[in-house]
Amino acid sequence: MSKPRVAIFDFACCEGCQLQVVNLEEELLDVLSVVTPVEWREAMSEQSEEYDIAIIEGSITRPEDEERVKKIRERAKILIALGACATTGGVNKLKNNFGMDEVRTIVYGKDAAMPHLNTMPTKSVAEVVKVDYMVHGCPINNKEFTYIVRCLVMGKQPVIPNYPVCVECKMRGNVCRYEYGEICLGPVTRAGCNAPCPSAGFWCFGCRGYVDDPNVQAAREVMDKYGKTVEDLKSRLLLFGSKQEHTDE
């Protein structure tokens, strides 16, 4: 594809993933040498309806957003989900553990019924439209993002790891968080982030979503070895894995 036109759209999210794109600093100019941005609300005033690649950040939480994302899908040749909110629903899905009236009341109290505060259970972008590529993570790893962009421009299928974070964690020479009696989600979480959290002494909380075949059952079985309970594990799995297939097993 010769210099595709790219548009970036955001839905319910913290915009941290777009920030990661800005954080490429000078490298952003290199990215602009292989793609032409035609719409990017956070960084520029131009807007366009013609684009080859649509990059979508954020979760879908309102019926009107569902319509908007469908329209974007119709126009785009390639659709990329950017970041956990878009790929899995991210933390936004924690909301789905409650009833919608309940969350509205918790946050807006007596005003909860006002129409503009309407909300629906959070969906990932893939739950609404077909997603061609996923850039996982909360926030994304911007190196992985540019790798995917270059792959697309070259016509190459990007290779996204389907092995756990432990692989990258070990390559970075870390001591396992379990040795300190902490619950780390590294063993069931898809790698590709280069394990920044365990490398900084914090457990992996699973922001990239699960590997294809996560052994959540094994994780349950070892909890007592580390003085933890299955409930502790579930609670952590919920953060980014709410209503993902394996959390409730």
Q: Which residue ranges make up the site for ligand SF4 (CB under 6 A)?
A: 165-166, 169-170, 174, 176-178, 184, 186-187, 195, 198, 204
Given a contact cutoff of 8 angstroms between Cβ atoms, the answer to whether 237 and 183 are in contact is: no
> According to the binding rule CB under 8 A, does residue 11 interact with other proteins?
yes
Given the complex with other proteins, which of 73 and 199 has the nearer CB atom?
199
Phi, psi of 8, deg, nearest 5: -115, 130
Given the complex with other proteins, which of 46 and 50 has the nearer CB atom?
46
> According to the binding rule CB under 8 A, does residue 78 interact with other proteins?
no
Question: Least separation, in Å, of the C-beta of 177 and ligand SF4?
Answer: 4
Q: Which is nearest to 68 in space by CA: 77, 58, 78, 83?
A: 58
Partner from other proteins, ligand SF4, none contacting 2, C-beta within 5 to 8 A by type: none
Residues numbered 84 to 113 that lie near other proteins (CB under 8 A) are 90-92, 94-95, 97-98, 102-104, 106-109, 111
Question: Least separation, in Å, of the C-beta of 185 and other proteins?
Answer: 11
CB neighbour list of residue 92: distance below 8 Å, 6 or more residues apart: 12, 13, 59, 61, 85, 122
Partner from other proteins, ligand SF4, none contacting 30, C-beta within 5 to 8 A by type: other proteins
Q: CB neighbours (10 Å) of residue 179? A: 10
Given a contact cutoff of 8 angstroms between Cβ atoms, the answer to whether 235 and 185 are in contact is: no
